[in-house]
Each structure stands twice: as structure tokens, then as C-alpha cells.
Amino acid sequence: MYPLKRNRRLRTNKAIRSLVRETIITPNDFLVPLFVVEGKGVKDEIPSMPNYFRYSLDLLEGEVKALWKLGLKSVLLFVKVPDNLKDNKGTEALNPNGLMQRAIKTVKNVCPDMLVMTDVALDPYSAYGHDGIIENGQVLNDKTVDVLSEMSISHAQAGANFVAPSDMMDGRILSIREALEDEGFTNTGIMSYSAKYASAFYGPFRDALDSAPVDLIDIPKDKKTYQMDYANRFEAIRETEMDIDEGADIVMVKPGLCYLDIVREIKNDVDVPVAVYQVSGEYAMLKAAAEKGWLEHDAVMMEQITAIKRAGADIIASYFAKDVVKILNT
């Protein structure tokens, strides 16, 4: 006796597979991380992130135009701050003519409709490589939050559409939201890194910004006192719900592939957009494996991106964004 239902009928050819596909990737899914440096004519490849670059402001203009032409309409800005401007208070983060503030204006000048999100954290500005102010060997929460709130206002004044606090300090979303409201930036959104795990996948990113924690006596060697334990699941839901209650418009899970269970849990639990950051280590691993000939780069890349969206991501921050969209456009 033969089966009445044959699931393979819906896999017979490319046309039917495309017709019944449940998860569709488009350029609108992506948020493109961009690294910015001081100087002129600088397009500096990040050694641990092949084919990904840091741009000086003049070359950032061309990159933004290229992204827009591909249909990529949202960017997330990070800055590599010169060592001589780093301290323990994030002083340079509040400079109205700082690199981040100029980068925001550069993007908006060259492409006014590009959605600009900005990293809000102290690690690029910290002499110690931490996301907060250090005192007596501890990362201070409330003093750090005060600086993050001022930093968010400075980004909004420069023209940012969204601020993206990536620090994992307690209460920072409420403080930032209230600060923005008080200054009249009622339409400036907040994308919170709500479930950001203390992950080993961030190494290449820290190379890109020279922002790894320093190895000194009385300075925490890692970020485990504020980023989440990767063994925890329910904590991610609690953190995310608290951020939404405090005013987050978008919530994020970071990293991506090892945390797709968390993405689905949060997607099922909340009614705001969920972002996922496919981080630098995920990017670097595929690049390295493809260079060795162990994996087919584009096939694995597309499978990974599809898995992230299938798990529940409304927004994907990915270093593969340009590569994916070029494939989609062929």
C-alpha cells in the first residue's frame, strides 16, 4: 500500500520549493554594522574579519551610497577611538565633535533616508576596555548609566534615529528614555541589547575597535559581571521584558547562532521587533572554514541567515549583509 500523502511532492523542483518556502530573506531584514576610524582615505581591512573594513569618514560616504544602492537601508555605527582620547569616564563619548557624532552627520548628509543606529557603550572610550566606569575593581552601574544617557542625547543631537545601548547596565533603558524625552527627542528610538551574553564569539569585534578588556591587577578580566551567563535561558526573558517596560522599542539577542533557542523564546513572549546580532566570531569562523575549502561559503552563509530569521528575528545585524543581498539580487 502506498502513502496517500507524499511530502516530497512539495520538493519536486525549484519552482514549487520557492512557492511553499516559509522563510524569505530580503534586504529589508538587515542592519549593517559599520566601523569608523579617524583619518583620510582609510579603508583598513580587519585581520580577523576578512573582507570587512574600517572606514575614515570620507570613504564612509561611498560605502553608505553602495549599501543604499543594494537596498540596505539601515546601519549600526561603531567607532575606533584613538588611545589618547580614552579614559575611565567616557569623556570623549560626549564630545559633540567626536568621531561618532561626525559619523552620524556624514551618513545623514550623504544619504538622508538611511536609518542610523548608534552603539551606546563606554568600551570604545575606556582605557580599560570595559562598558562602564571602573572603581575599586568594580564596574559601576549607576554612574555609567548617567554617562550613557548623556551619550544618547549627544547621538540624537547629531541626527541618530535610534540609539543602541550594548552595555548591559541595569536600568539604562529607563534612564536613556527619560533623558531623550526631557530633551525633546521623543521620536528617537531605542534598540536595546537586552539578552547580550558573555560570549567567546566577540574576539574579532574587539580587534576591530581595539576594545578588549585590559589585563591589569584589580581590573575585571572579562565582562561576566554585567553580560549574561550563556547557560541561562529564563534570565533572557526577564531582561527583555524589563527593557520593554523601561521603554525599549526593539530588543536584541546577541550572539546569534548559538542562541536561536533564546530568539524563539523571546519572539514568542514579546510584541516588539526582535533583532539578532550575528557576531564577528560567527563571521570569522565561516570565512576561515571557506578559505580552507572545508565549507561552501555562500551556501552556509544563506543557511545561517535563514536559520536566524526562521527562529524569529525581525532584524538581523550581520557582516554578511552585502554578500547576502548581492546573491538575492542576481
Q: How many CB atoms lie within 10 A of CB 12?
A: 10
> Would you say 110 and 100 are in contact if contact means Cβ atoms under 8 Å apart?
no
Task: Say how far apart CA 114 and CA 107 lie, in whole Å.
Answer: 7
Task: Say how far apart CA 110 and CA 97 lie, in whole Å.
Answer: 18
> Would you say 30 and 74 are in contact if contact means Cβ atoms under 8 Å apart?
yes
Q: Give yes or no: 322 in active site.
A: no
Q: Which of 196, 267, 309, 322 is catalytic?
A: 196
186-234 residue pLDDT tens? 999 999 999 999 999 988 876 776 656 666 656 777 889 999 999 999 9
Task: Say how far apart CA 64 and CA 56 lie, in whole Å.
Answer: 12
> Would you say 26 and 327 are in contact if contact means Cβ atoms under 8 Å apart?
no
292-320 residue pLDDT tens? 999 999 999 999 999 999 999 999 999 99
Q: Which of 80, 86, 223, 254 is catalytic?
A: 254
What sections of the chain are H helices per DSSP?
A: 14-20, 57-70, 99-110, 142-158, 172-182, 203-209, 234-246, 260-269, 280-291, 297-311, 321-328
Longest Cα–Cα distance of the chain, Å, equals 78
32-90 residue pLDDT tens? 999 999 999 999 999 999 999 999 999 999 999 999 999 999 999 999 999 999 999 99
111-128 residue pLDDT tens? 999 999 999 999 999 988
Cell numbers that stand for 15 in this block: 519552482
Q: How many CB atoms lie within 10 A of CB 156?
A: 23
Q: Give yes or no: 326 in active site.
A: no
Per domain, the residue ranges of the chain are 25-328
Q: Which residues does 160 contact at the CB level (< 8 Å), separation at least 6?
A: 104, 116, 117, 118, 188
pTM for the model: 0.94
Q: Which CATH architecture has domain 25-328?
A: Alpha-Beta Barrel (3.20)
Q: Which residues does 162 contact at the CB level (< 8 Å), separation at least 6?
A: 115, 116, 117, 118, 188, 189, 190, 191, 249, 250
